[in-house]
Structure 1
């Protein structure tokens, strides 16, 4: 660095020092008057109880502030803070209305040697609305977990209701009063006090609400329990022309509660018998559970829904070979066939046909009209015995050889 640059730097430093010395002299020795605007000084509302007496509430209550224009010696101005000022607005001193109200403020205290230039025109704007009340039933949203094989028997809340007070816009938003909190691994009866929270229809907390109580007592009663399968019981048959194509239960397993000695012997729960003959296609019926004495259901009202799928049964056919008996043959003739067999075709549902054999079919050939020897084709008559939902659709011919005796 050359000498000329060193000289320039020294001059700059000297100028800076002289400026600081001059500022200190003016501020501390000359101490001239100075103006300054201090923003956002809090305003305290007094006599707010008068709003309640007049059935008013502040809309979306927020902190109120004013801006002050100050004048004073520089040394004093430099020291002022918001905390040095106490400013109040008396809510009982003026006639109020629903909507926007301008409330003058009073400066109770402020630093000495400071002048407030805008003291005579200070005020805050306060929006008021109707003060209303609403009673709500308290519900529990306390998150509770239980130890294995321990189940909730019931919950009780005391008191059951809470009364809220506030501005109409806030009170109208509240849809639920809920208890909040958490309990883990509960294994015995328990009770405790929980905070009450007020929420809207979207689950958001609503503020600016006062309530007659802040907490409520939640009592949790527990019992032993286990999960067992459900056995559907039925009686009768599905209506004629239909077959059961399956069923669905709303619950294949249920949680049962009760004494541990009874629970240990319980492996499943039967339903009351469903009358299958009364079912319609795609029927859904409420079915009660047959609960042993001393046993209750932990997750329902003691019944389940059963949905039955019925489908229309289509007819099919079945061929059965049957021995043919003959009758009314004249005494002068005889049949030389060792045996007579006819193929009988049956129609009916598959379920009904599966039950039919040759034992259920009587096949008779009437030979009363035979007048001469020869071989003839005849169609015998087939009759069903003890056969439901089955008909004879065709009977095959038989070939009969006739000869005279002697």
Structure 2
């Protein structure tokens, strides 16, 4: 039996070798080794948060695919799909902002029986920038027109500064953040959401930073109204008010829209000027209606009332200075003013009565329709507007017939 195994061993080994060789030949003919290239295999990014955690940003999108060549039996290779590959790149390889490439990890194919012959690229180029947070003041530019009588009292922003996150070089180029508010015919408080724009140092807008950037602007208005001085009583006899000055003449008030719309002036507390005979000066309080308050204005004003004592000026006229009006022009009557002197008394301010010229008064009597006799006639005077004639003045006028002239005797001529 032992000899039998030894006797057939060589034959058996030879048979096995022949079988293997035959299988290899058949396999190579029916299922040969082949290579295949797959394009655009997606690359998975590992540790993607590494950029934000270290304040890096990509200046441009990276290439996120590779081309892979594999080798294996035809039947196996034909079963391989793009999704069977695992290609990764790890952002944690970045050591500084100067890093220029990321090495791909060894590619893996999830299908057994194939090997990866090559892949390209083996590294992915990158271009990095350092991120930065910049804090900038928000500048409000008003383009507001007010309704007549109203003034812009105050504007305030919901936030006076804003933070912008982005590439360091771009953040360093930022000059300002501006919010432009457009309102017309404003007469009430309002709050408006205003878009903001970011500008560089050359005055150009940076749209990527301006996007979705807004601020709430609160606008407060006030109304400017005049002050009305309230007085009671009369000055002492023979005194006149020459001027009244108040300072300030206007104030600003704030309140509800309805309250501001209703107010036309602010009155003072009552000032008693009864029987005063000298200039008046005092501080007087203001009476502010309910629902309103004074803003940027004093609650008292200064009042100065100047007064002056009236004086009397006498002006005399002789009978020859008086004109006779509407006398008959048929020479049948003689008109004669028989009052020798007439006294006119004017009352007024010293400067004004002193300026009266006698020749401007043009005194006259009107004799229209009067017949013979002596008549007491009121003198008509051109009274100056700045003075007062204290009493009526009368003149006695005598009217008589013109004497008849006798005719001379006839003269008889001798022959």
For normalisation by structure 2, the TM-score amounts to 0.35
For normalisation by structure 1, the TM-score amounts to 0.35
